Amino acid sequence: MNRTILAANWKMYLNEDTSIDFIKKMSSDIESFSNSEVILFPSHTCISQVQKELKNLNDIKIGMQDCDIHTKGAYTGGVSLHGLSHIDFCIVGHSERRLLYNESDEVVKNKLETVISNGVNAILCVGETKEQKNDGNTFTVIDAQLSILPKDAISRLTIAYEPVWSIGSGEVPSNKYIEDVLSYIKNKLKSLYSDEIVEKINLLYGGSVDKDNINRLLEVKLIDGFLIGSASADFESFKAIADKLN
Ligand code: 13P
């Protein structure tokens, strides 16, 4: 059986000291994560230190929370995928980037292309706002967000379904709701790509995941793992989630 993906999006919760502290605790308790495939997304400014601290823990993957469309040149403040020695993953299209930083589907599309063409695994986030849900537009929104996917074969892609109304709210959709959306996403992928490719695209759920709801969420068969925000930025609560998988 594949291990469950636990992708920890630390957002802007941790600084260098608290990130290092987290890794120290994790290193001395690594057996708790034996059934999890852990991907850590520290702040850009902390990635190098986190990588150093992880040293021999090759099993733990590292990702960027976002990146620039460009990889080199006169782009003040931009963060390049090439700026770090080794990156396994990069998140694109997180709703906080879409809504707080006005990233359009076009920008997300360009970022996705940059990430994939540079040999990095992309986690593309999709999800509807409360208003879009209440208006019955969930599938239309997801469809538009997925319309940026390249039409030819794709590799190194993961899709994270993160309903905006669930992020940081403690409000988690029912399993049936998540299953319906993930089935919709899967069918959309099947309409674009071969079964062989679709098989390799992992599907994550994100939005208020914690130790108390992880077991019932795991009953959704289409879920390969989770993209976790606040509960991933505190070692004890992240470990409590991983412990549920053991
Ligand atoms: P929370 O787990 O804090 O709801 O955040 C989810 C998220 O946005 C992960 O990318």
Which residues have CB under 6 Å of ligand 1? 9, 94, 162, 167-168, 206-209, 227-231
Residue 61's pLDDT is 96
Nearest atom in ligand 1 to the alpha carbon of residue 160 is 10
Extract the residue ranges of the chain whose pLDDT is less than 50: none
Residue 85's pLDDT is 80
Residue 1's pLDDT is 57
Residue 239's pLDDT is 98
The structure's pTM equals: 0.97
Residue 82's pLDDT is 93
Ligand 1 midpoint to CA 159 (Å): 14
Distance CA 188, CA 195 (A): 12
Ligand 1 midpoint to CA 14 (Å): 14
Q: Which residues contact 239 (CB under 8 A, 6 or more apart)?
A: 25, 26, 29, 32, 33
* pLDDT digit string, tens, across residues 133-168: 999 999 999 999 999 999 887 889 999 999 999 999
Burial of 102 (0-12, 13-18, 19+ CB in 10 A): exposed
Structure tokens at 62: 């590292």
Residue 55's pLDDT is 84
Nearest atom in ligand 1 to the alpha carbon of residue 231 is 2
- Going by C-alpha positions, the residue among 204, 113, 184 that lies closest to residue 152 is 113
Q: Which of 90, 167, 214 to mutate to test the pocket of ligand 1 (most atoms within 8 A of CB)?
A: 167
Nearest atom in ligand 1 to the alpha carbon of residue 168 is 4
Residue 152's pLDDT is 82
Dihedral Cα 90, 96, 100, 103, nearest 10 deg: 50
Ligand 1 midpoint to CA 169 (Å): 9
Contact (Cβ atoms closer than 8 angstroms) between residue 246 and residue 32: yes
Residue 56's pLDDT is 78
